[in-house]
Amino acid sequence: MEKQRATLKDYGYRDFTVMNKIYQILKKFLVVFIIFGLYISIIVIAIQSLNESRIISEFTRLSFKWYGNIFQEEELMQAIKNTFLVSGIATVLATFLGTFFAIGLYALSKKVRVIWMLLNNVPILNADIVTGFSLMLMFRLLMVVFPNIFGLFTLVMAHLFFTIPYVVLSVMPKLKETDPNLMDAALDLGVRPYKALIKVVIPAIKAGIFSGMLLALTMSIDDFVISYFNTGAGFDNLSIWIYAVIGRRNLTPSVYAFSTLLTLFTLLGLLIYSFLQKQKKGRKNEKNNINGRAS
Amino acid sequence: MNKEFKVLARPYMVWLSILVFVPILAMILISISNLNSSVSVGDLVISFSHFKLLLESSTLIAFRNSLFFATLTTLFSFVLGYFIAYEIKLSRFKNKFILLTIVILPMWSNLILRTESLANIMSENNILKSILGFNLFGNISGTGAAVLFGLVFTYMPFMILSVYTALEKIDFALEEAALDLGLSPIKKFWKVVFPLSLKGVVTGSIMVFLPTLAGFAIPKILSRGRIVFIGTIIENKFVYTNYNHGALLAVVILFFILGSILLLTKFDKEGETLL
Amino acid sequence: MKKIILMAGLLSLLLVLSACSSKPKLRILNWGEYINDELVENFEKEFGIDVVISVADSNELFYSKIKSKTTAFDLVIPSDYMIEKMVQEDMLLTLDYSKLPNFSSVTYMDGVEQIFTSMTETTFAATGDEVDFKAYAVPYFWGTFGIIYNNRVDGLEEALYTNGWDVYFEADNYFPTARRGMYDVPQFAFAAAMMYMDKNPNDYSLANLDLVRSVLETADFTEWGDDTLKRNVEADNLDMAFTYTGDYLDRLYIQLDEGKTLDEVREEFDLYIPDTTMVFIDAMVIPNTATNLDAAHQFINYLLNPENAALNAEVVGYAVATEEAFDIIMSYLESEDLTKKNWAIANSIYYNMEVERIYYPLTSLNPTDTDAIGTMVQNVITG
């Protein structure tokens, strides 16, 4: 009988190449499937916007007429304007306030902070319908003093209620990452605390502020239920308008056109942003090289 | 951080306390009284008569449906969302921000439009069929599968973001150390990476579970009104101005939410991955 | 950073300011896409009034929006049963007919008069009060309910015209393969089932509730929807659905716009109006929260003008309430303009008031009964 040699396997080495290959194939399949799942509805909306016919169950002919029509649809334009108005104001305010609130919360002792961060989660996790309805109850109490409160004001307030927590949440981790000495150094140099906050801390947490802003905008722009309960005086945003129209009458395909444009412009913005980023980095590297050569 | 900045948190504390607690108390009050739009506070009567709604077969089935679909949606979102988050983390593409934005971009389009368009292509004769000549989804409109598909791909971005945030915090040196110690890639994943990302998984699961549990638009549209969720009933109650019943069911949902928040604090004290 | 914040602050301030304007405002709460924009523009120009239209998608929302007082609407356009309820709860102002000079030159159509009478009767039965609803409301549009059916299914049309409601509710006996949809408004489902059993749809009792329940259970609908119903029949994804006649006309006009002929469309999907059916009326009322009463009256008076009512109907597609406006539409039967001609033909077919039918407007049930019907329907759906 031949003596068997110890193989690599016996030494604990295992060959993963086959498994790896299977994983690679599976991976590609999964990525495609997920992107498909996430984007199929967006694609269908785009197809509906390019359909000449108003009938969304059948594609008749390619046409861009609904894109031109966006500006002629008065109610739609008003709803779009209102959406940008509310989400714009709410996002700017939420970013601004949320950042400073986060800094304030971060200055608290850890024990106290944990409790407040817990409450901060409530608006994020609470059911929309509960938040919407209960905020309306609150604002109705204020109506005794301010009878014309419902409309832009209540809508912005309601949006602030659920957007600020997102900003606080995304700023907080960045605050923890900042070097505590940074602030001290600035103070030692005689800079006043609030000036130091703006000059030193804010730039350090920029990324967190930005992603918080993005999340706030995302949540605000698509909100329906909360807006629905808290609007008034004919101030309807896009989702309220769509819901009301889709329930009884026919939606103009221009809505699909607008939705598609929004997605396309965002994608385009992203590409430009990433291109600029690359350029910036490229230039930095170049500078470094030149400096390197010079020295 | 300078203790002086504590004052910055004050207004937020007032704001949160009022807007979180007062409405919840109001909801509870409405659910156990006859208070509604036509009853003034003067003739308020506390009564538990609304509670018999909880025993109605439709309420029980709606709760069962909501829990069942919320659980399944969370599971699918977890498997698929974790995978994507992990791939984004591993990807050589430098600008992770762009990849993440691509994931959340669909959320910028109106939820109802997206769901209606899904319902459109899931029915027997639809716009995609008129282009492709065959039915991409078969004819699943009105079934549980249609609802599940819609829910999973609507809420998965939350899972991806949370898991990614947790993964991003893992030190790569740890993974290398694990490999050096002879762990297989699979073992390395289960023993090192996964436990460290658990925080994100829990957060992501809650972010997917809760809106699914309380939602109504997606199941209503994709099941063609045949699968009733608890959110559907709550919405109906509010629409038909039965605030007492609506508030009662909302309070029940609230218990699930509070439970989730408590669970969350066990894993992630400050909600760092709650994004 | 400071500059950015300052800019942002200024920008939002500007935006807020630009949202205000000084003209007198008329706030209308209406259904979505339920008015001809051209009409609104003409009105705004003629009277120098800024018309602000909010939309909602159910009568119940109209009710809660007025009740919650979140907005001071000057004019609301709810349906019959909701008007009954609003009058019962003292939410409406009586109209000042001296400000509605156009009223004297129009005659309401028979069906409209029937609805007004019936509303008075149901309110009397419920509360013992004798209310003349014309004191509160001027009709905006009205219409019947019917069954939209898929005419691509052989024999369905004939079955419907011979057996009526039975085909829709007892599919197993007549058309086992037919996919059927029901409006997801519980009271509509209740009323339809009652009419199928030859009962008055407003006759609520626990015994009837049980009967309706078993009817709906046997019917086992493929879909409980709203406007999705008409689109699904049109797209061949559903074979029968109980909806507004106007829902059908909506799709019909769109198809005509696409270049199909009336006959072509009717071969694909058509509408059957049962001998006993529901009717509705949407009417303009002034809630007691109104602030601009003059403008509200001006608007109502403006719409009483038959020319304006016809112009509005041209876009909306429901039936006009006055004979004068209907005559204007009928005058288009000989029109050169194909769209107008088709519109007139459709009106003469589907709003032909010479056919003898029993019309039931829905009454406003008390909250407990409404709730019982709602729960019953939910129990049927969940099985």
pLDDT in tens, A191-216: 777 777 777 777 778 877 887 888 88
Helix C245-257 vs helix C338-350: crossing angle, to nearest 10 = 160
Whether B200 has its CB under 8 Å from any CB of chain A: the answer is: no
Burial class (CB in 10 A: 0-12, 13-18, 19+), B263: middle
Low-confidence ranges of chain B (pLDDT < 50): 275
CATH numeric code, C78-287+316-383: 3.40.190.10
Domain parsing of chain A, residue ranges? 1-70, 73-252
Q: Higher pLDDT residue, A142 or C379?
A: C379
Contact in structure between A119 and A164 (CB atoms under 8 Å): no
Q: Taking Cα atoms as reference points, which of B157, B191, B169 lies closest to residue B272?
A: B169
**3-class DSSP state for residue C161?**
helix
Per residue in C201-236, pLDDT tens?
888 899 999 999 999 999 889 999 888 898 899 989
The average pLDDT across A96-124 equals 82
Q: In chain B, where are the structural domains located?
A: 57-242+260-267
ipTM of predicted assembly, 2 dp: 0.83
Chains touching C (at least 3 CB pairs under 8 A) are: A, B
In this prediction, residue B155 carries a pLDDT of 92
Q: State the Cα–Cα distance between residues A170 and C130, nearest whole angstrom.
A: 63
Using only C-alpha atoms, what is the Rg of chain A? 27
CA gap A218, B30 in Å, rounded:
32
What number of other Cβ atoms are within 10 A of residue A142's Cβ? 14
Q: Is C375 on the interface with B (CB under 8 A)?
A: yes
Q: Are C227 and A250 inside 8 Å of each other by CB? A: yes
Whether residues A166 and B275 touch (CB distance < 8 A) is answered with yes
Predicted pLDDT at A292: 44
B222 vs C238: CA distance, rounded Å: 15
Q: Do A245 and C37 touch (CB under 8 A)?
A: no
Residue C126 has pLDDT above 50, yes or no: yes
CA distance B154 to C89: 42
Reported confidence tier of residue A294, pLDDT bands at 50, 70, 90: very low
Measure CA C373 to chain center: 21
Tokens at A101, concatenated: 């609130």
Place of tokens 């239920």: A225
Cβ count within 10 A of residue A164: 27
What pLDDT band is residue A142 in, cutting at 50, 70 and 90?
A: confident
Contact between B224 and C223 using a beta-carbon 8 Å cutoff: yes
Residues of chain B positioned with their CB less than 8 A from the CB of C223: 142, 224-226
What pLDDT digit, counting tens, does each position of C257-292 carry?
888 888 899 999 999 999 888 888 999 999 998 999
What local confidence, expressed as pLDDT, does residue B75 receive? 95
Contact between B54 and B255 (Cβ < 8 Å): no
B71 touches C at CB < 8 Å: no
> Which of A67-81, A131-145, A268-282, C35-49: highest mean pLDDT?
C35-49
From C56, which residue of chain A is nearest by alpha-carbon distance?
A244
Give me C2's structure tokens: 């400071």
Specify the pLDDT at position C294: 93
**Which residue of C89, C237, C288 to mutate against B (max B Cβ within 10 Å)?**
C237
More confident: C265 or A114: C265
Q: Which CATH architecture has domain B57-242+260-267?
A: Orthogonal Bundle (1.10)
pLDDT given at position C168: 92
Chain Cα centroid distance, residue C125: 24
A123 touching chain C per CB within 8 A: no
- Using DSSP's 3-state secondary structure scheme, residue C70 falls into coil
Distance from CA of B57 to the nearest CA of A (A): 23
Chain B residues in contact with C184 by the CB 8 A cut-off are 225
Provide, as residue numbers in chain C, all residues whose Cβ is less than 8 Å from the Cβ of B245: 371
Does A96 contact C8 at a Cβ distance shorter than 8 Å? yes
Q: Are C197 and C170 in contact (CB under 8 A)?
A: no
pLDDT of C1 higher than 50: no
What's the confidence (pLDDT) of residue A233? 65
Q: Is A282 on the interface with B (CB under 8 A)?
A: no
CA–CA–CA angle C206, C212, C217 (5° rounding): 130
How many angstroms separate the CA atoms of A57 and B129, rounded? 9
* Of A225 and C157, more confident: C157
Q: Which spans in B136-171 are helix H?
A: 144-168
User: Is the model more confident about A61 or about C4?
Assistant: A61
The structure tokens listed for A268 are 């385009």
> Which residues in chain A are closer than 8 Å to B275, comparing Cβ atoms?
166, 169-170, 211, 215
C37 and A74 within 8 Å at the Cβ level: the answer is: yes
Partner residue opposite B125 with nearest CB, options C58, C235, C379: C235
Average pLDDT over residues C22-26: 82
Domains of chain C, residue spans: 78-287+316-383
User: pLDDT-based confidence at C17, cuts 50/70/90?
Assistant: very low
d(CA B155, CA B162): 12
Architecture of domain A73-252: Orthogonal Bundle (1.10)
pLDDT tens string C290-324: 999 999 999 999 999 999 999 998 888 788 999 99
- Chain C residues with CB inside 8 Å of B141's CB? 237
In contact, C61 and C99? CB cutoff 8 Å: no
| Residues A38, B114 contacting (CB under 8 angstroms) | no
What integer pLDDT is reported at residue A180 of this predicted model? 72
Strand pairing of C138-150 and C240-244? antiparallel
Q: Looking at the partner chain, which of B3, B105, B149 has a beta carbon nearest the beta carbon of A266?
A: B105
Where is pLDDT greater, at A27 or A56? A27
Burial (Cβ within 10 Å: 0-12, 13-18, ≥19) of residue A269: exposed
Q: How far apart are CA B162 and CA C313, in angstroms?
A: 52
**Structure confidence at residue A39 as a pLDDT band (50, 70, 90):** very high
Residues 41-100 of A with CB under 8 A from C: 53-58, 60, 74-75, 85, 88-89, 92-93, 96
pLDDT in tens, C41-84: 999 999 999 998 888 777 878 887 888 777 789 999 999 889 99
Q: Which residues of C touch A (CB under 8 A)?
A: 1-2, 5, 8, 11-12, 15-16, 19, 27-28, 31-34, 37, 52-58, 68-72, 226-227, 231, 234-235, 237, 250, 254-255, 257-258
Report CB contact under 8 Å: A55, C34.
no
Query: Could you tell me if B61 lies within 8 Å of chain C, comparing CB atoms?
Result: yes
Closest Cα of chain A to B54: distance in Å? 18
What percent of chain A shows pLDDT beyond 70?
85
- The single residue listed with the structure tokens 């938040």 is A131
B135 touches chain C (CB under 8 A): no
Output helix, strand, coil percentages for chain A, rounded to the nearest 5.
80, 0, 20
Compare CB distances from A218 to B7, B12, B108 and report the shortest one's residue.
B108
Give residue A62's pLDDT: 85
Give A283's pLDDT tier (boundaries 50, 70, 90). low
CB within 8 Å: A107 and B3:
yes
Any idea what DSSP says for residue C134? G
Neighbours of A, requiring at least 3 CB pairs below 8 Å, are: B, C
Q: What mean pLDDT value characterizes chain A?
A: 79
